[in-house]
Structure 1
Amino acid sequence: MNYQERDSLGIYAGANALEGGAPDHDRGPGPHLMGADTLMGNDVFNAQDEDLGDIKEIMLDMRTGRVAYAVLSFGGFLGMGEKLFAVPWDALTLDTVNKRFVLDASKDRLESAPGFDKDAWPDMADASWEKGIHDYYGTKPYVDPRLS
């Protein structure tokens, strides 16, 4: 499911979309400013067009006001055996053409990524955990200059 299908308020329709055309991104929200709820459930693929799962949650860093991680669900069947992964927000790219996210990781690499069970979330505020996640995905943690 993608953000346009989850848009219960019609905020991504735009003037042209109402007439059957492409959304008008000069009016209202669009791919540069989006409601978090509309991104939940979005598919995540890699550059090889392999389905890596979907976004289950978006984690906000309340100290900085930035999105820190997307929680990606991968594997399992009907929720059984599903593994969750905290993926740094900067590791994801929104593919507006296919209406999904892209993560630069193979399925094999994701299977060996540090993950967790829905009943045993890690301490995402732990600096060593954060460093490990960013190192794994090749991203850098955001440092708020006001907190330095």
Structure 2
Amino acid sequence: MNYTQRDPLGMYKARGNPPLGPSTRHGPGPELMGADTLIGNSVFNGSDEDIGSIKEIMLDMRSGRIGYAVLSFGGFLSMGTKLFAVPWDALSLDVEKKRFLLDVDKERLKAAPGFDADNWPNMANADWADSIHSYYGVAPQSPDRPV
């Protein structure tokens, strides 16, 4: 399911004749989007491989910025599913295909620092944040860190 399908408020409703779809002239997307409509969106890599979906969006309460998207990858029926905190700046939105892109191949993601639902890392820890940003090749958003 993508953000246009998970839109209870109708903010991405196609308008016009013919329908124009999400645009800056009709509603908030794609530059400004509702967080709850993004959870569950697919994430693909540059090789057009499905590498997971967004399970949660983590907000930095000090800065008001999005810090991480928590992706799930692997497992079956949520058993054995590995979670990954990916810096928000490592993702880009593919507006045409209504999905996110992450420039990492499947094998690198499999080897990425991850966790399970019962053992979340301390995402406010600056050392952890530095290691995650470094792994995905993006700089932390601000000197105040952690994200």
Is structure 2 residue 58 aligned with structure 1 residue 59? yes
Which string of whole-angstrom CA distances, capped at 9 and with x for unpartnered residues, describes residues 111-132 of structure 1? Answer: 0000001000000000000000
What is the alpha-carbon distance in structure 2 between the residues aligned to residue 53 and residue 27 of structure 1? 29
What is the alpha-carbon distance in structure 2 between the residues aligned to residue 24 and residue 139 of structure 1? 28
Q: TM-score, normalised by structure 2?
A: 0.93
Query: Aligned partner of 2:63: which letter?
Result: T
What is the alpha-carbon distance in structure 1 between the residues aligned to residue 35 and residue 127 of structure 2? 27
Q: Could you say which residue in structure 2 is the equivalent of 1:3?
A: 3
Which string of whole-angstrom CA distances, capped at 9 and with x for unpartnered residues, describes residues 79-137 of structure 1? Answer: 01000000000000000111000000000000000000100000000000000000000
What is the alpha-carbon distance in structure 1 between the residues aligned to residue 22 and residue 107 of structure 2? 38
Query: Aligned partner of 1:23: which letter?
Result: G
Q: Could you say which residue in structure 2 is the equivalent of 1:98?
A: 97
Q: Could you say which residue in structure 2 is the equivalent of 1:29?
A: 28
Q: Could you say which residue in structure 2 is the equivalent of 1:80?
A: 79
Task: Specify whether residues 98 and 9 from structure 1 end up closer, same or farther in structure 2 by C-alpha distance, changes over 3 A only.
Answer: same
4+ residue stretches of structure 1 with deviation over 2 A?
A: none
Q: TM-score, normalised by structure 1?
A: 0.93
**3-state DSSP of counterpart to 1:38:** helix
What is the alpha-carbon distance in structure 2 between the residues aligned to residue 67 and residue 61 of structure 1? 6
Q: Could you say which residue in structure 2 is the equivalent of 1:142?
A: 141
**3-state DSSP of counterpart to 2:52:** strand
**3-state DSSP of counterpart to 2:48:** coil
What is the alpha-carbon distance in structure 1 between the residues aligned to residue 95 and residue 36 of structure 2? 17
Give the deviation of 1:2 after TM superposition.
0.4
Structure ranking higher in helix proportion: 1
State percent identity of aligned pairs.
62
Gaps of 5+ in 1: none
RMSD between aligned residues: 1.3
Tell me, yes or no, if the aligned pair for 2:22 and 2:30 is still in contact at 8 Å.
Answer: no
What is the alpha-carbon distance in structure 2 between the residues aligned to residue 99 and residue 114 of structure 1? 27
What is the alpha-carbon distance in structure 2 between the residues aligned to residue 144 and residue 59 of structure 1? 18
Query: Aligned partner of 2:15: which letter?
Result: A
